[in-house]
Structure 1
């Protein structure tokens, strides 16, 4: 049985290794203090977003999701952006990813957001199988980015 909750300051020691695992999976290396600062910012400013943490029956943190709130002109509505979804390798396939997405969708409904949207790497076929099984629609949009610094 999994339990999900919104991340608080007390969850940060268990959340940080999951966030590092997520970053390692995507081969990026932001500093730990930057990751913690992002989490603390969301705790302090929930109007910007939130993080959910999933725990197993032994209360072990097994996964997390980060959702940011924004608007989408093409839908003329608020949306939740599922920016991060990660389940620790030893716990994959146990329903944590599915439950984190469901909880994110519920938070969208509570905030009046019309959609939950996200992206994944083209080669992350394991995650894509989950998304397809949930009935999520693939987008035809390409993602671009520029460094601001």
Structure 2
């Protein structure tokens, strides 16, 4: 069992390292000021962002970044799993599964109505994991940058 917990200030350096790996994986970059703003919100208990950390033998092995929001379809919060990343040296050890299960358990305990996420269609490794929890639906995403 991989322990998963809230992100702490002491995790900042490890989170930044993994965040950089996440961005490299998706061949993108996030400006430093956005990264730091995101980290501050993850550390703020009053923020709608939820940051969770998986540990193996005291080492940060992965993270999730999720956003809680209201919905016109439910009366309780919805959780959007925006980012999930596992350190390459820990892949195959169940860290990704533990991170998703953690959000399911957390959501049930906190009364969230739904957890959802998406990934790139060709991210087969992630999709095999995600399909073990739930089949993908038939929605297509549209994204307009403002």
User: When the two structures are superposed, what TM-score results if normalisation uses the length of structure 1?
Assistant: 0.89
CA distance in 1, matches of 2:138, 2:73: 14
- Aligned residue in 1 for 2:121: 122
Distance change >3 Å, CA 72–CA 139, structure 1 → 2: farther
- Aligned residue in 1 for 2:53: 53
CA distance in 2, matches of 1:24, 1:83: 16
CA distance in 2, matches of 1:76, 1:41: 24
> 2:52 is paired with a residue of what secondary structure?
strand
Deviations 1:34-87 (A, max 9, x none): 212112113224440211111111x11111001110123345542111101111
* Unaligned residue ranges in structure 2 (runs of 5+): none
- Aligned residue in 2 for 1:105: 104
Aligned residues: 146
Moved over 3 A (4+): 74-77
* Unaligned residue ranges in structure 1 (runs of 5+): none
- Aligned residue in 2 for 1:15: 15
Matched, 1:138 2:136: yes
Q: RMSD of the alignment, in Å? A: 1.6
